[in-house]
Amino acid sequence: MKQHEAEQKRMKAEALKIFQEKLIPRSRQKSSKNQFAGLENAVIQWGWLDTYEIVPRWEQDLIEQELWENLNNLIYQKMREESLPSVNHMLGYDHAGRFWQILQAYACGDLVSVPRMLPEEIGVAKGHYPCFRVAINLIISEIYCDNAIKTEALAAADKFLTGNFSQWEKGVITFLAGISRRKLDILGDALESVCRGWNRQLTISWDKAFCRHAHGLYGYALTRLSQEEVDCIKLPNFPNFSQGYAQFQKTFIRNAMKEQPQFTLYLEFPKEMEIVNQIYFLPVAVSALHMENCARVLDWQQMLQEMAAELRTVMGKK
């Protein structure tokens, strides 16, 4: 944990330096064509937890110490980070491109963010990555109780499962389709297949220790099934799935379904960067689409403008 604390201190110092030397000067640029014009736009677009090696190590530390609430807050902060409107995250994708963030929202119990990322009026996903497209449409059909979409989504899932896809991808679709059909007997094996497939798919060793996306699927199941049905799911007996955290999820997410929980930041930035801290607590940007090269893709610029306007309102009250 000493290394853990030292890394946090170093990250805060580096973030403050970026904030003072790069973002504040950029925010003073007068050109209306500059996408970074305005401090709110600049900080929303900047990556504050771009620590792909450090965060998995922190997760492992917290799991070993069974600090489940801290782990949950870390997942919440990472999810909010990755859901910020940015050309880096959203270029060329429709709302299926937010699948990673949606799974992390389900994992940590930030349930109010899911319908913002998947607003009903946006319709079905048509993105080019098959796994995300099929998965998102299965979720949409469930949360909006749309039988027409469900029928099409399940047919697409059945076709997907006959294709040449990875163990991880097939595990994800099997699990989601199993939820839609209430085939409880297949959910445990599908979830373990996700965990096993994740490690086979990854070439990066440091991100294999904790499969937060499997916990996202489990969190999704907690919102769709009764307590008795959830108890029928055999939890994976695999190193990258934490049964202790899953037990925490069961209580936390059931409570979150009744009342939005109060999250705290795992890594809170210095007081000079309060605007950054506040970004994590803003409502997640609502997915919006526009046509680009004959395809519907996320309009990250519109999403950025709306979020920046909300941030200005929040900071104006302080």
What's the 3-state SS for 115-140?
Answer: HHHCCHHHCCCCCCCHHHHHHHHHHH
Backbone angles phi, psi at 292, to 5 degrees: -145, 120
Domain boundaries, the chain: 2-316
Rounded Cα–Cα distance for residues 224 and 118 (Å): 16
DSSP state of 22: I
The torsion angles phi and psi of 289, rounded to 5 degrees, stand at -115, 155
Say how far apart CA 80 and CA 283 lie, in whole Å. Answer: 9
Q: Note the pTM of the prediction, 2 decimals.
A: 0.91
Give me the phi and psi of 55, to 5 degrees please.
-60, -45
Structure tokens given for 136? 């998102």
pLDDT tens track of the chain, all 318 residues? 667 777 777 777 777 777 777 666 655 554 444 444 566 777 777 665 555 667 888 888 899 999 999 999 999 998 998 888 875 556 678 999 999 999 999 999 999 999 999 999 999 999 878 999 999 999 999 999 999 999 999 999 999 999 999 999 999 999 999 999 999 999 999 999 999 998 776 545 556 789 999 999 999 999 999 999 999 999 999 999 999 999 999 999 999 999 999 999 988 888 888 888 888 899 999 999 998 878 889 998 899 889 988 988 888 765
Of 146, 147, 91, nearest in space to 120 by CA: 146
Q: Where are the alpha helices (DSSP H) in 112-242?
A: 114-117, 130-143, 147-161, 167-181, 187-201, 212-224, 227-230
Determine how many CB atoms are found less than 10 A away from the CB of residue 78.
23
237: left (phi over 0), alpha (psi -120 to 50) or beta: beta
Number of H helices, E strands in the chain: 17, 2
Handedness of CA 259, 264, 266, 267 (dihedral sign): positive
Q: Nearest Cα to 166, choosing from 203, 220, 113, 126?
A: 203
DSSP state of 269: P
